[in-house]
Structures are given as structure tokens and as C-alpha cells.
Chains A and B, each alone.
Chain A
Amino acid sequence: MVRETRLVVISPLSEITPDQITRKVHSLGYEVTVKETCYGAVLEGPPETVSKVMQELRALDPLGIYSKIRGFPLGDPKRCRAQHGSRPGFSQLQTEWQSLSLVEKGLECALRGDKAEDIDIPERIPVKDLQRFCEEVE
């Protein structure tokens, strides 16, 4: 069976709790497995169903709920920390979770139609000029 495992991550600014997410998933009655976590929840099920559930979850807080897929299935002993899995990966998720409050504010501006500020990107030295400099030094 094709499965999709998805991390649902709640932004630090959101007022939604992981408990609300899991209760919402249970109330929808779809055939997906959900596990409550400290950052949100992990969903697993057929890709179409997971996608439908994600739409419903995003509606709870469109700018405060983020998600990405996960390679390892739910409770995989190779990954699960409860079973001393060998692939701990929370440090990356933690870093990005902390930045989600910034991204949320950015999204708010983007959806409002704000324009990005001009950024001065320094020009790169053309190879010919670099070659000339090297020859001069020699």
C-alpha cells in the first residue's frame, strides 16, 4: 500500500495545540493514523486521504500550521526515539520550528500583497578581470 507520512508543525505564534489537531483528525473520521507530538502531530495514511485531512487542518489556522512529508513510517524502530532509533532528527525540526513565527509574519505580508525590498546583491568579478589581476600580481 502506498503511504504518506506527514509532519504537522504548529507555529510558536499559533493558538492551536497538538491536542486540538489530533482531536480534529479523529473527528473527521478518515482512515488515517495520527500521533500527537510536542510540535504538532504525525499523520499517516493513503496520500489522497492525508491531503484531504491536511486541507481541513490548515483551515484551523491557515498561517500557523505547516507540514512536510517524512520518509520513515510512524513508529519505525529505525527512527522512533521511544525505541532508541538510530536516526534522531529533531535538531533540524526544532531550528525550523523556532523560525516559523518569522515565516508566519512573512506570509501575512506576502498574502497582503506587500512587495519585497530591493536587495543590493554585489556583482561578481568577471573571470577575465580575475585572470588579469592574477597576471598583474605575477
Chain B
Amino acid sequence: MTEPTRTRRSATASWGSSRLFANVLTYAFLIAGGLLMLGPFVFSVMTSLKTPKQFNTSWPLTPPAPVTGENFAALFSEQYNFVVPIAVTAQVVLVLVVGQMLTSILAAYAFAQLQFPGRDTLFWVYLSTLMIPAVVTVIPLYSMMTSLGLKNSFAGLVVPFLFGSPYAIFLLRENFRSTPSDVLDAAKIDGAGVLRRLWQVMVPMNKPILATLLLITVVSQWNNFMWPLIIAPAPEWNVITVATAALQTQYNGNWTLVMAATTIALAPLVILFLVFQKQITSSLGVTGVR
């Protein structure tokens, strides 16, 4: 028994010095990566806090001195009117989050807990729609919405995505299926109907996954660009991403103003992410797609 122990100890000793080297390398790699990730955010916010004159006359990466809010003030002034895109985006996100969560919860519960003819076929159809790329549906959705007279309208922005997402349904179904059935059975014996069992038992028991799904929906809707660009190009219906793109094209080179716009577009989600980062990162392994 002594022989293997000795070999093991000497292996650990040589491993020790290479381990120190590996640790130094790991720190260097992770910190360099972190700086590279953070840099664009820091520099763009710094630029948004400079006057155009300060920006043009000094090295691009010097901190703003003095800090000015004039770019943000300009964006909220009558000329650029960024209040409108923020309000439109907030409403779109709110309506779509409520709509998608409600429809997805209902459908996921039916697939997970109820018996009905055609359940497996129907679920297979839902799953197969996950393969349909957004770029493919954009043209037909545009033709459908315009023929309904919904171009440049709130309805045009939200209607195609209001009725749940197959991905959310798939994700929730998996979680609803693994919910212990004895609690549900107890509620059933107590005479609770399908909806009461869903809202008073299933939903409270699956809060973490529902919270994650809520965050993912907020993120993807706030960031959405291609569909709003196509269906609502009129300024009064611009969402924040479309307004930022328009500002960038129109005032090309006016970087202090444009960086103020990107700061407004990015800040809410960066804050949301930092507050809920544990919730988001720890659940990603389970959830998969955005």
C-alpha cells in the first residue's frame, strides 16, 4: 500500500508549481476578458456625458470633464423627442409579456397535466414551429398586418407575438410535468377546478421558472428590432432600437448624442440584469434559448 501513496505525493508536488503558473494565467485571461467586455459600455457612457466640443478636441477616451447632461437633455427635448420611443417600447413590452405569459402558462398546463385526444400530435406541431426562423416569417407577417391596415400602429407591433411562444410553452411544460402530482391531486379531491388548480397550486409552485421566463421575455422584446423597423417606421410608433438606429443614420458623426441614445437603450436592461443576474445566469443551463 505504500508504493502508490508515494507516487501520488510526488505527482502532487510537481503539480503544485504548474498549478501556480496555471492560476496566474487564469487570472490574467479572466481579467483581460472582463476589461474587454466592460470597455465598450464604459467608453460609450463616458462619451454620452461629454459636450460635442469636448469630444472633438480631446482624446476620445479621456473622462468627461466637466460631466454634462446636455446630450440627454437634447434627446428628451422637442427636437428628438425620445420620450415617445421609450413610452412605445414600455407599452409593447408590457402587453407582450402579459400576453405571452398568460397564453403560454395555459397551454403548458394543458399539455402537462390534462388528458385529451390529439395531445401528442398537437405538441409535436408546436415543437416543430421552433424550427421556423424569424427572418422567414417577417415578409408574410408584414403582408398580413398591412392588409389588415395595421402598418404604423400599436396593434401591428404586438399582435403577431401576443399569442404565446412555442419555446415558452415547451419550457413550462417540462417544469409543470415534474411538479409533484400529490399536491394537485389533493386540490382535485377538494373539488378545485382546472383553473383553480393552475393558479393556486401550479403557478405558486413554479415561481422560479416563471420569473426567469418573464425576464427573458422582457429582454427579447425590449431588444427587438427587425419587426418594429418593418411594421412601424413612422416616428410616432418607433420603439427604442428603431429610434436609435434612425438617430445614428440621421446624425452620423454626432457621437455624443448617439451614445446618449445607446445608453438609454442599454441602461434599463443592464440594470435589470445586474439586479437579477443570479436568477438569469443560474437558470440559463435549463432554459437554453433566449
> Do A and B interact with each other, yes or no?
no
